[in-house]
């Protein structure tokens, strides 16, 4: 992780490639429609409700996943509509961490969240430089900018997602680089990438 500055400023199976942890995250976060439960207990595709125990369990799970997606979409929308704090280093570049095969921009909903992250890192005694940026700009412009940066030893850049309130455990949020969150060209499951992620499944997943 790039070091922060001193002043606060507002502003495998055989024959198949080995799956990465990032692919697993993506499968849990891909947004899709048409699978929400209908009021009669079936699904939006018109499937009749099941009355046996297995069918009931499947229906309950589908409803749980649909509710989870709705919560995720709501939080994603809230992030895009609000200003967030993006810390940066002395070189002016936004701070990132590398985790599970990707870079992650750090964004915080307020100064208290940033302070909790600083304490968790044992760096609470110094102030941090940050910019106040619209969340939409972080995803639509910040992610492509970081993803375009060369990787280690000048190699190809890494995919980039966003960690929101990274020091807050379950209250934080993971916005991985998948279609529906970041621009398609910079997404794990986008048209310009080669991935074994299942583009038809999963649910929005909050940071754990």
The parts of the chain modelled with pLDDT lower than 50 are 1-20, 30-45, 50, 193-208
130-134 and 96-99 strand pairing: unpaired
pLDDT tens digits, residue range 38-67?
444 444 445 555 457 888 888 888 888 888
What do you get for the CA distance between the two ends of the chain, in Å? 20
Show the CA angle centred on residue 182, arms to residues 17 and 160, nearest 5°: 60
pLDDT of amino acid 162:
96
According to the model, what pLDDT value does residue 24 have?
Answer: 53
For 85, 92, 116, 160, 166, the CA distances from 127, given in Å and listed in that order, are 13, 15, 12, 26, 17
Residue 207: per-residue pLDDT: 39
pLDDT value of residue 184: 92
| pLDDT score, position 196 | 41
């Amino acid at each position: 992780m790039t070091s922060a500055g001193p002043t606060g400023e507002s502003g495998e199976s055989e024959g198949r490639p080995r799956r990465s942890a990032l692919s697993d995250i993506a499968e849990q976060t891909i947004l899709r429609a048409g699978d929400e439960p209908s009021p009669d207990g079936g699904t939006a595709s018109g499937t009749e409700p099941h009355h046996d125990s297995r069918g009931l369990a499947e229906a309950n799970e589908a409803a749980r996943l649909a509710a989870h997606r709705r919560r995720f979409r709501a939080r994603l929308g809230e992030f895009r509509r609000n200003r967030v704090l993006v810390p940066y280093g002395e070189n002016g570049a936004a701070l990132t961490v590398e985790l599970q095969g990707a870079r992650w921009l750090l964004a915080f909903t307020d100064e208290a969240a940033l302070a909790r992250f600083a304490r968790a890192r044992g760096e609470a005694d110094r102030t941090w430089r940050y910019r106040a940026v619209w969340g939409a700009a972080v995803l639509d412009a910040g992610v492509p900018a970081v993803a375009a940066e060369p990787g280690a030893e000048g190699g190809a850049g890494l995919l980039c997602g966003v960690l929101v309130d990274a020091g807050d455990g379950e209250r934080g949020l993971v916005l991985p680089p998948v279609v529906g969150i970041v621009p398609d060209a910079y997404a794990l499951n986008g048209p310009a990438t080669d991935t074994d992620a299942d583009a038809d499944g999963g649910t929005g997943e909050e940071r754990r």
